[in-house]
Amino acid sequence: MKQHEREFFVARIRSGITPISNSSHTVYVHTPNMLQNLEANRLSIKAYNQAEDEGLMCEEEMNEWMIDHGLWSEEEEEAMKGIEEDIKTLRKEIYINRDNDRMRETIRRYIRAAEKGYAKIANKKSEYSQNTCEGIAISAKYKFIIEKCCTDEDGNPYDFSDMSVDFVSMQYQSSTLSEKQLREIAREEPWRSTWSVYGKAENLLFNNKDRELSQDQKSILVWSTMYDNIQEHLECPSEEVIKDDDVLDGWFIIQREKREQEKLEAEMSGELTNNKIRDSHEVYMMADNDKRKEKIEKMNDTTAAMFKKQREALVEARGTAQQGEFFDEKIGIRAQQGQMYKNKFRK
């Protein structure tokens, strides 16, 4: 994004006004005030209930209908979840390989390809969403906001003689900045210095007066605070990492998993009150439900998880196995033998 583009978006965000233009006219969409926002949400609920009474399907019912008619499948649902996990893994990998230029850029291409694949499947799933109760409710809400919150170039209420409500509403919804754009704006000038000066005084930061915050305003506040928190973190990443969204996302994931692991270990260690058990090489814990099983599984590090899979594969192949037949046990025995051999000659 060029400097002049960032300056325009910062001005638009701070004003709380979105200009929408056609070939000859411009209309200015303001954020609603509290009363208008209340009425918009009230009409949204009314539209949902009316659509439901008329027999329209909700999103969950539409999803089931699409499956029944071969327009969507459980396999595609699982594919979406799989791609999400793949993207998460790739983001961790790009952070781990951040100093390897060739590897980093290769992983970045994989991330873009995965995101493209996910978007293609997600678009197919949401193809009929506008015809659901939720879709009708959202349309009613935005229509009311557009009708009540638009002015012409002179500041007078707009009469929609040159642009229809539906056109303005569609353009307004599509004008919301993407996450990538907002992240760049939040960490670069001219926003960064503006945030430093006015960040703690919302009435000076935005020109909303008695109006609600726009989606872009809410998002820029979240990302600005996020970047502040990163700078204050004990393991603050380098500036190169902070400016690279893919690499920084990997750092976020790794930090979150680290916190979750520490919390889990603290929680589970409370059950191991016996020091002898707690300090053992292996500890077997019983799980009486899937949630507890998942927690116990997460206690294993990468190496332990790999050894566990190898043991399960051996038992499945043979039907039974002795402790000393496991691969990790063989490694441990060899290591002990090697250490004993070294100790023998040290004497």
Residue 137 near residue 44 (C-beta atoms within 8 A): yes
The SS3 assignment for 259 reads helix
In a domain, 253, yes or no: no
pLDDT value at residue 288: 62
In a domain, 290, yes or no: no
The SS3 assignment for 26 reads strand
Terminal CA-CA length for the chain: 69
Whether residues 11 and 143 fall in one domain: yes
Whether residues 175 and 307 fall in one domain: no
pLDDT value at residue 23: 85
Whether residues 37 and 170 fall in one domain: yes
In a domain, 190, yes or no: no
What angle, 0 to 180 degrees and rounded to 10, lies between the N-to-C axes of helices 74-96 and 101-125?
160
Peptide bond into 237 cis (omega under 30): no
The whole-angstrom separation of Cα 194 and Cα 205 is: 8
In a domain, 338, yes or no: yes
pLDDT value at residue 175: 93
Name the domain boundary from 179, 198, 219. 179
Name the domain boundary from 179, 200, 215. 179
Q: Where are the alpha helices (DSSP H) in the chain?
A: 3-15, 34-53, 59-68, 74-96, 101-125, 133-149, 165-174, 179-187, 191-198, 202-205, 215-232, 239-242, 245-269, 275-278, 290-298, 302-318, 327-346
Whether residues 157 and 11 fall in one domain: yes
Q: What is the DSSP-derived secondary structure letter of residue 151?
A: E
The SS3 assignment for 48 reads helix
Query: How many domains would you assign to the chain?
Result: 2
The whole-angstrom separation of Cα 220 and Cα 6 is: 13
Provide the CB-side half-sphere exposure for 18 (13 A, CA). 22
The whole-angstrom separation of Cα 183 and Cα 197 is: 19
In a domain, 237, yes or no: no
pLDDT value at residue 282: 61
The whole-angstrom separation of Cα 291 and Cα 117 is: 31
pLDDT value at residue 267: 73
DSSP assignments along 192-206, one per residue: HHHHHHHTT-HHHH-
Q: Which residues make beta-bridge pairs with 157?
A: 151
In a domain, 247, yes or no: no
pLDDT value at residue 335: 58
In a domain, 249, yes or no: no
Which residue is it, tokens 């020109």? 207
Residue 15 near residue 207 (C-beta atoms within 8 A): yes
The whole-angstrom separation of Cα 161 and Cα 218 is: 32
The SS3 assignment for 158 reads coil
Q: Which residues of the chain have pLDDT under 50?
A: none
pLDDT value at residue 295: 57
Q: Which residues make beta-bridge pairs with 320?
A: none
Q: Which residues make beta-bridge pairs with 150?
A: 29
Name the domain boundary from 116, 146, 179. 179
In a domain, 241, yes or no: no
Output the furthest CA–CA distance in the chain (Å, rounded). Answer: 99
23 is in which domain, residue-wise? 3-71+128-179
Burial of 41-62, coded b for 16+ CB within 10 Å and e otherwise, reads eebbeebbeebbeeebbeeeeb
Whether residues 18 and 164 fall in one domain: yes
